[in-house]
Chains A and B, each alone.
Chain A
């Protein structure tokens, strides 16, 4: 599969009479977008707000972040969720509005949504403090079941991102990147002397509000499978979960998976990037055993010399991570794990909830228990009413002036376990 990814740099966003992109400025017809969101009768309120880097603005509770993209050719964006499932995505041409994001805001459940600060100390920890954000603040109908509201929130963000992405269809991109992965035998032939490297991508899939969607299929229903990396760049995977903010893989992170981007950077130079093995994170232990066996089988079948493995979440997924590591290593493929850590405030406790002897190489994305002071902001998009109940906060952490103390866990993607952040651990 070969994908051309055209990026249109967005330098400013504003509200206007007509939605369009003109000279790197995104104008949005606010009423039109709000009407689009409110077509869903599960939502009774929606308003758009804009947040820009450097502003004294706090956005919370944040559910998802999405980059607007459009398929110019070769299928439709977010297949199975917004676009048609067929043809498959991952080839043809895609345009992206680079530097701007759709952020869905609103209380989904009482504890798992995070914070984005557009300036101040917390901004250093969040990639979305540096993007121009179109915030979609939603309010549900009274009495909705949590999962019905989660779906409405998820769809609202994806619909707005698709609407804005459509504006990029006929614009000449500033940059055009080309990514290609060939069918397995041809790919192995292309760089026969380079080590064959794969990526084992573990999707959060533990249950209600802990789900991810693959071509619209709930990931807990899948068995491990092969994916071309470019399919993921076209929105074949979207987030539907509300795990701890710090290690949440938003839909933006799926589009911009740093493991995939970095492996492509090295592709043909010092390694041969063979593709992605997609798997999930299970509650039922027999599923864990079966799926880690299948991951190891796929690694062996693809003739991989090495894999990188990422997870989403903490606790139960650590067991999937270690089972994958153990079985893949024993089947003859070298493993490097990528994850974040929760070793207590002083960093001295065990970092993960599980481990295995084969886990000898690990890249750390930082630790979520460290605490930070969040100064008061001039403007809040959403509400800070729930800060004390949100993950990373605690009873009494909020001060009267709107400032608060909290663990890094409360910041969206601060320690994201695929490395789309700046934190790391170094050995001395």
Chain B
């Protein structure tokens, strides 16, 4: 149904970037919000979402890392993707108003967040076949 080489990961997690940069296109961004914005731009430009942009149930102000996988596509799925990513951006901004994301985390905690984020991508990869 899908071809791995055509999927694109948008991430600000360097461990995701390192793990997949040799086998597919990986776009590395600096912040969580930049990942969402880059995803939105891709979705408006003939891509669909393969993964949910809020995976992990960590609220958008509770993790500094985010990875999303998009895929070339259009039609009904693209319309759904547009609605979903716009909703996710809205939810992200709402949580920043509730309490902004911490400026930094202790190294160990930051590593845990990277591990969680990477694991989500790792779990999804076998589905992209």
Tell me which of B13-21, B29-37, B105-113 binds A. B105-113
Quick one: which of A146, A283, A317 contacts B124, CB cutoff 8 A?
Answer: A283
| A222 within 8 Å of B (CB atoms) | no
> In angstroms, how far is the closest chain A Cβ from the Cβ of B112?
4
> In angstroms, how far is the closest chain B Cβ from the Cβ of A330?
16
| A353 within 8 Å of B (CB atoms) | yes
Per DSSP, are chain A's interface residues mostly helix, strand or loop, or mixed?
loop
Q: If A315-B54, A389-B106 touch, does A354 touch B87 (CB 8 Å cutoff)?
A: yes
Q: If A204-B57, A344-B94 touch, does A353 touch B87 (CB 8 Å cutoff)?
A: yes
Q: Which residues of B contact A315 (CB under 8 A)?
A: 52, 54-60, 91
| A288 within 8 Å of B (CB atoms) | yes
Query: Interface size (B, Cβ < 8 Å)?
Result: 36
Q: If A110-B109, A317-B57, A354-B87 touch, does A283 touch B52 (CB 8 Å cutoff)?
A: yes
Complex formed: what's the CA distance from A345 to B97 in Å? 10
Interface flags for A168-183 (1: CB within 8 Å of B; 0: not) read 0000000000000000
> In angstroms, how far is the closest chain A Cβ from the Cβ of B51?
5
| A185 within 8 Å of B (CB atoms) | no
Whether B59 and A342, one on each chain, are in contact in the complex, defined by CB atoms closer than 8 angstroms, is: yes
Please name the residue on chain B nearest to A218 by beta carbon.
Answer: B123
Whether B50 and A314, one on each chain, are in contact in the complex, defined by CB atoms closer than 8 angstroms, is: no
Whether A111 and B62, one on each chain, are in contact in the complex, defined by CB atoms closer than 8 angstroms, is: yes
| B102 within 8 Å of A (CB atoms) | yes
| B38 within 8 Å of A (CB atoms) | no
Quick one: which of A207, A284, A349, A350 contacts B56, CB cutoff 8 A?
Answer: A207
Whether B109 and A288, one on each chain, are in contact in the complex, defined by CB atoms closer than 8 angstroms, is: no
Q: Please give 5 more A-B residue pairs, beta carbons under 8 A apart, in addition to A208-B120, A394-B102.
A: A147-B119, A284-B50, A285-B49, A344-B97, A354-B87
